[in-house]
Amino acid sequence: MIAFDGITNDTALKILNAPTPEKVLENYNSPYQLSKEQINSYKENGFISLKNVLTGEALTHAQRVIEAAVLIRKEKDKRTLSEKSQYEQSFLQCGYLCWDFLAVKDFVFGKRFAGIARDLMQASGARLWHDQALFKEPHGRVTDAHQDISYWPINEGGFTITMWLALNDVPKEKGCLYFYPGSHKLGNKEYVDIFKNPHQPEVVKGIEKTFTPINAGDATFHSGLTFHGAGQNVSDEMREGMTVIYLADGATFDSSDERNATHKSCVGLKDGDKIDTQYTPRLI
């Protein structure tokens, strides 16, 4: 049973139905200035860790809103961790929250985050691919190493990027992310079925992984081509992360990806079509 301090099912609905304070909206949409060194670091390594992407009242508000959304999504799941599948033991996964809860949409549509994604990809604009909360329960297992683009029907893997924002402090022992630096340069190399057949990707053997412990409000951004995973949560606390996945404006649909060609964000598209649907709006 999932629980968060001070949030019941009733209070969760009140939190999610309340309008987002103007000061919070301003923070969600204020620019975040990247240096040339940071952009070059992302280009070289395929990931970057950024400080204070969200702070103060906006961070506190986002944490409560996303906790409330996760609680509503998972309220009927009474299973213990040991009763769940190996994949489910890696994290509580709640996707497309922004389309169910307006308060989450205000966060997901934030131009501050989309602007970082656009600038790191060196794109003319950034579109939403989808959002998902990825909470790791106390003593939850590792998230096996994988490459995100292998799950997405998008032709241009380098034109995709994921923001992973910490809603609480995420030290190494709580299951922070790790990345294989430079692995995005390998291209779309290996599908790792983390659902049914997790395994160590052959192509990254010999590359030393980099763990990225971060504090609440910090975020990592990584390319859809970058191999990454997360450690086990050996603590007694929930690891709370919220992700938003972006694609560069102009990225196109790959209908040959039979595993994922029915992805919600691509309904109605044909092979090679520019990805521009009701679920993939341009955010900046």
At residue 256 the predicted structure's pLDDT band, cuts being 50, 70 and 90, is confident
Pick 65 or 189 by higher pLDDT: 65
pLDDT at 246: 98
Query: What is the pLDDT averaged over residues 79-102?
Result: 93
pLDDT at 6: 85
State yes or no: pLDDT of 15 exceeds 80: yes
pLDDT at 30: 98
- Mean of pLDDT over the chain: 93
pLDDT at 266: 85
Tell me the torsion sign for CA atoms 210, 211, 215, 219.
positive
Query: What is the pLDDT averaged over residues 98-120?
Result: 98
Measure Cα distances from 70 to 78, 145, 151, 155, 273 in Å.
14, 24, 23, 31, 33
Measure Cα distances from 40 to 45, 189, 264 in Å.
9, 23, 33
Lowest mean pLDDT among 61-65, 74-78, 271-275: 74-78
Pick 86 or 119 by higher pLDDT: 119
The CATH code that applies to domain 9-266 is 2.60.120.620
Query: What is the pLDDT averaged over residues 156-179?
Result: 97
Q: Percentage of the chain surpassing pLDDT 90?
A: 80
What are 187-235's pLDDT values in tens digits?
766 666 766 777 778 888 899 999 999 999 999 999 999 999 999 999 9
Query: What is the pLDDT averaged over residues 243-266?
Result: 88
Lowest mean pLDDT among 47-51, 189-193, 248-252: 189-193
State yes or no: pLDDT of 1 exceeds 70: no
pLDDT at 179: 98
State yes or no: pLDDT of 265 exceeds 90: no
What are 114-154's pLDDT values in tens digits?
999 999 999 999 999 999 999 999 999 999 999 999 889 99
Query: What is the pLDDT averaged over residues 240-260?
Result: 92
Measure Cα distances from 138 to 3, 68, 92, 152, 173 in Å.
12, 18, 11, 29, 10
